[in-house]
Structure 1
Amino acid sequence: MKIRAIATVLVAALALTACGGTGDDSASDSPTCPGGEIRFGVEPFEDPAKLTPAAEALGAALQTKLNCPVKVQVTEDYSAEVLAMQNGKLDIAMFGPLGYVFASKRAKAEAMASFAGADGKLSTYTAGIWVPKDSDITGLEQLRGRSLALSSIGSTSGDALPRKALKDAGIDQKDLKLNYAGGHPEALLALTKGAVDAAEINSQQLATATESGTFDQAKFRQVWTSAPIPNDPITVRGDMAPEFKSAMKDALLNLDPAAVKEIGALLDVDPAGPLVAVDQSTYQPLFDLADTLGLTEKDV
């Protein structure tokens, strides 16, 4: 009887252990909630004090839609975000268009959705170079021998497009004093403080800085602007399960516009509409730009 009682206790204990293990494994192995959470990376295109809560609002909406915790991480720089996805540290990520080009090559990142206006059309932005209003610089040609602040290496509007424009104007990088300020806000600040002769200010940064009162357009002039650039894509890592990709895309495309309003405003999308579907073809001009400039993963 004693042996039978011990055996009964052991069987019950093993049954409880098996049930607990199965429950934990099924949760962590769920195709739509891998490892029990979704890791969401966001490139540092704006002051973290503004960007982080905006990105977390988007993450919270996704968490509700997918019934899975979403961990948002604003990365240190563009290259760190690409590397994190390549190393399997991010499941989804919002990249600048050029960052997406390299993430697609290194992590097989797939573009799923991007930001649209209230009219339902994919939003765009532009790169720009600005100078003080009383400057004698009227075009790119006059930048020869002058100082120019760019955002950071790997930025679409704050690095690649201005450098392409300079190249097209026959200006080599050694012909001017090129400074990477560390971000779009920092490049703008370098100009307003008189630390450089010119600086890149994209239309997104222009809108937020003008609204906050940190930039007075009346005191400066734009001497160059780019063609419209499709706004940042939200991507998924290429080796994620098909079920996860499908569920994530469906969740993104069916978010309430209120969920993307805050981060959309930082991208100069105001009022924001629902996210819209995008794919690699949407960003083909950026793939072509990387080829034209001879950019590789080392340049991000």
Structure 2
Amino acid sequence: MKKALGLVLTVALVLAGCSSNSDSNSNNSSPSKEQAGTKTKDKLTMVWYPNESGPEIKPARDAIGKIIEEATGKKVEHQTTTDYIIAIEALASGNADIAYMGPQGYIEANAKNDKVQPLVVPSGESGTLNDAIYHSWLNVRKGEDGAYKSGDGYSLDNIVGKKFSFVSNSSTSGFKVPTAGIISYFGKQDAYKSLTVDDLLEGGKGKFFSEVLYGGSHQGSAVNLLTGKADIAAFCDTCVSNYVELESGKENEPGAVYKVKEGAAEPFNTLVGKQFTIISDTPVLNSPFAVNTDSISAEDIQKLKDAFTSDAVAKNPVIFLPKDSKDSGLLKQKSGNEKFVTVEDAWFDPIRQLSK
């Protein structure tokens, strides 16, 4: 029997190398040339994906902004967004100087402008890059997971013809990894040996999916599932962790059931108690803070690296929530060893390979 996507996506796991709204006005100045003018620049713009643009993440955004201000002596203005592309374009064009973005978004920004480079990523539980991963899930509503059971695991065979929700086609865990896994799984079958990403972009009669939706954020994709708009939805663990809690099973494993917790913020506030089941789980490389090196001086970039990787930041409970915290936040401790670590562009090559 064919197993769950969490098993067939070993290609993604291997490749993963597992060893516009604004809080304030955005900076619309053009990027400087060859670092010209960066020494006199008195403000830096930090752009955020839709996933991290909600009010529940504002304390963490402000804490990150404070780190940047104290390290560089420059005022930070936060640009929150409603679309991945806005954030990617802002960083690539130099209208933003720093961004927190997924691996795929970073790769797209870097392809548009090679002056975009990674600054740091959150480490794994070991405090290193060796386990610096989060999780890409495929999920169905609790009670409907039986249609995908196969022995002691799950099969993807019955996803054909269903209503499917992605996050954005610039999302790593909400599009790039799921589509790679679906193509890998079904490509072994004669009927789908020519299946491509283009075949998964939209649904309809005669298409692989009957309907394809895009949540615009991981939260939006989860809402598409829980409100019945989609039968299956891709979203990641970290982006919904502020709103859901484990009901049964083992964390990040197929068969685990999560429910929307009491007091969940929008857009989950009307969905308290709703449950979903993971039918696949795939580890993905952690998301970077990236910078436009054409709009920030090399001196300031080094200051930022030193500040982000400091013990003070690793121990900041607003940025790295303690593991027993019930608060919402950007990142959460599991072992107590988590911190930011520097990373080079080549570290993201495994994600680039998913497009080939």
CA positional deviation for 1:155 = 0.8
Partner of 2:60: 54
Superimposed CA distance per residue, residues 192-237 of structure 1 (whole angstroms, 9 cap, x where no aligned partner): 22222111131113422214605789943221222x2121111121
1:246 is matched with: 302
Aligned residues of 1:82 and 1:102 also touching (Cα < 8 A): yes
Gap change, CA 1:47 and 1:76, over 3 Å in 2: closer
> What percent of counterpart residues are identical?
23
Q: CA deviation at 1:125?
A: 0.6
Aligned match of 1:261: 320
Does the CA-based 8 Å contact 1:184-1:201 persist in structure 2?
yes
Q: Deviations over 1:150-189 (max 9, x none)?
A: 1123111111111112212226423102111221111111
Indicate how the Cα distance of structure 1 residues 39 and 272 shifts in structure 2: closer, same or farther if over 3 A, else same: farther
**Unpaired segments ≥5 residues, structure 1:** 1-27, 293-300
Which residue number in structure 2 is paired with residue 155 of structure 1? Answer: 171
TM-score, normalisation: structure 1: 0.77
1:276 paired residue among 341, 345, 348: 341
Between structure 1 and structure 2, the one with the greater Rg is 1
Alpha carbons 1:98, 1:156 under 8 Å: kept: yes
In 1, Cα distance between the equivalents of 2:164 and 2:61?
A: 30
**Structure with greater helix share of residues:** 1
Residues 148-227 of structure 1 aligned to structure 2 (within 5 Å): 148-170=164-186, 172-173=199-200, 174-176=207-209, 177-211=211-245, 213=261, 219-226=275-282
- 1:115-130 equivalent positions in 2, closer than 5 A: 115-117=122-124, 119-122=126-129, 123-130=132-139
Structure 1 CA distance for aligned equivalents of residues 141 and 46 of structure 2: 39
Aligned to 1:113: 120
For 1:201, what is the secondary structure of its paired residue?
A: strand
Unaligned runs of 5+ in 2: 1-35, 150-154, 187-194, 201-206, 246-259, 265-270, 322-326
Structure 1 residue 235 corresponds to structure 2 residue 290: yes
Q: 1:125 to 1:247 in 2, by over 3 A?
A: same
CA deviations over 1:100-139 (Å, ceiling 9, x no partner): 1011111221112111256422431111111123221343
CA distance in 2, matches of 1:168, 1:145: 18
1:43 maps to what in 2? 49
The structural deviation recorded for 1:30 is 6.0
Q: How many angstroms apart in 2 are the aligned matches of 1:47 and 1:94? A: 11
Structure (1/2) with the larger strand percentage: 2
Number of aligned residue pairs: give it: 261
TM norm structure 2: 0.66
Alpha-carbon separation, structure 2, partners of 1:47 and 1:90: 15
